[in-house]
Structure 1
């Protein structure tokens, strides 16, 4: 478990989380369809994103909502799976208060995207 939140610990989170995404029966097809073989650039962007969110690094530049709204076939089940897997990883890697911070952000993002897709958010 990491005692410090920094780029190295966030990189570990992103790499381990997306390794599991690539094996997940529900999420793998969605991510493969969106990312294809371009996993390395995606992982780098996700490290930049989480560093920007959690460390206020300002490294990430992009439109998270707009990018996700381009995806087809997204269902509530995808959000449930993504959040459950993300929670497993942050709780395993970080102290409870840091994990809780990650989850507040992740749930807020999920709710925003759910409103975009479905016009409502599911409590998670």
Structure 2
């Protein structure tokens, strides 16, 4: 099968590395990731496989992102706009515009799907009291 988006493996690796460098320093996302990622090189390699599967159709990733994000417990839907803004900035810096836009569109679709399966607020009691 031809790639969905014709990026190289080296481009994927650079985007993933730059993205996680920024995430680790981010005041909201950094602590969430730090609580779950013990080995950054292993995590980045796994996410690289995810993107190779999604972009290059390499069939080298067999994880379940929804299950992992849901099981984390502290990943919330409101994290995804922040995640995507950082990801978009990295894409714009690392790739030609047409590739950055195509990859961004896919990342936004994936982000929407993942965020729909997660808690939508930080509220402990999502049911409003009307009484």
Query: Shorter-chain TM-score category?
Result: 0.7 to 0.9
Task: Pick the aligned partner of 2:33 from 25, 28, 31.
Answer: 31
Which structure is higher in helix share?
1
Instruction: State yes or no: 1:52 paired with 2:70.
Output: no
What displacement does 1:82 show? Answer: 0.5
How many aligned residue pairs are there? 115
Deviates most, 80-89 or 109-118: 109-118
| 1:13-32 matched pairs, under 5 angstroms | 13-32=15-34
What displacement does 1:77 show? Answer: 3.4
What displacement does 1:51 show? Answer: 1.1
Q: TM-score, normalised by structure 1?
A: 0.85
Give the match's secondary structure for 2:10.
helix
Q: Which runs of 4+ in 1 moved over 3 A?
A: none
Q: What stretches of structure 1 of length at least 5 have no aligned partner?
A: 120-124
Q: CA RMSD in A?
A: 1.5
Deviates most, 81-90 or 71-80: 71-80
What displacement does 1:15 show? Answer: 0.7
For 2:74 and 2:51, the matched residues in 1 are separated by 25
Q: TM-score, normalised by structure 2?
A: 0.81
For 2:78 and 2:64, the matched residues in 1 are separated by 23
What displacement does 1:98 show? Answer: 0.8
Question: Is the 2:69–2:75 Cα contact (8 Å) retained in structure 1?
Answer: no
Q: What stretches of structure 2 of length at least 5 have no aligned partner?
A: 1-5, 121-131
What displacement does 1:90 show? Answer: 0.4
| 1:1-124 matched pairs, under 5 angstroms | 5-35=7-37, 37-118=38-119
For 2:65 and 2:115, the matched residues in 1 are separated by 13
Between structure 1 and structure 2, the one with the greater Rg is: 2
